[in-house]
Amino acid sequence: MLIDQGELLWGMGFLFTKDFMAVSAKVHFEKGAVIFREGDKADYFYTLVEGRVGLTIGEPAKEIYIFDKAGEAFGWSSLLDRNYYSASAECLEPSELLQFEKNDLNEFLLKNVDSALIFYKRLAGVLGNRLIQCYKLIYP
């Protein structure tokens, strides 16, 4: 099974996508399960297969983003040499995810430099768009 190529893998090609998925483990979380908390060690990167995941920051928690489309990715702190997650992720309904251990994914990307360049460029674009959405929450 291949995931929806989503925001990061669009147009990357069948072989890259297949090998990308081979680095992952499919995990299932029930509604209400916390995938990670703000401040937890950032060891994993995630891609949504199905379900719905909310991203929150601060105490009390303020929802800043909802992942509900197959292929959407989160847990980026693990890929950008940040030691800790900058937000919390909680399942808003039963969810299936691809979980990538950061060292395994980084090793895979180092072996696929051309595709990794595109991957990180798209990741930067995704993060930029999410930042703009956060600005709109702060300054409506």
Greater confidence, 67 or 80? 67
What pLDDT score was predicted for residue 2?
43
Tokens of 60: 């009390």
Q: In this model, does residue 66 exceed pLDDT 70?
A: yes
Q: What is the mean pLDDT of the chain?
A: 86
Q: How confident is the model over 90-102, as pLDDT tens digits?
A: 999 999 999 999 9
Residue 4 pLDDT greater than 70, yes or no: no
pLDDT on residue 76 = 86
| Rounded mean pLDDT, 124-137 | 74
Half-sphere exposure of 64 (CA within 13 A, CB side): 24
137: pLDDT confidence band, cut at 50, 70 and 90? low
The whole-number pLDDT of residue 28 equals 98
Beta pairing, strands 73-74 & 88-101: unpaired
What's the pLDDT band for 3 if we cut at 50, 70, 90?
Answer: very low
6-138 CATH fold? Jelly Rolls (2.60.120)
pLDDT digits (tens, 9 = 90+) for 8-34: 777 777 888 888 889 999 999 999 999
Q: Encode 103-135: b = buried (16+ Cβ within 10 Å), e = exposed.
A: eebbebbeebeebbebbeebbeebeeeeeeeee
Domain coordinates of the chain in residue numbers?
6-138
Higher-confidence position of 92 and 56: 92
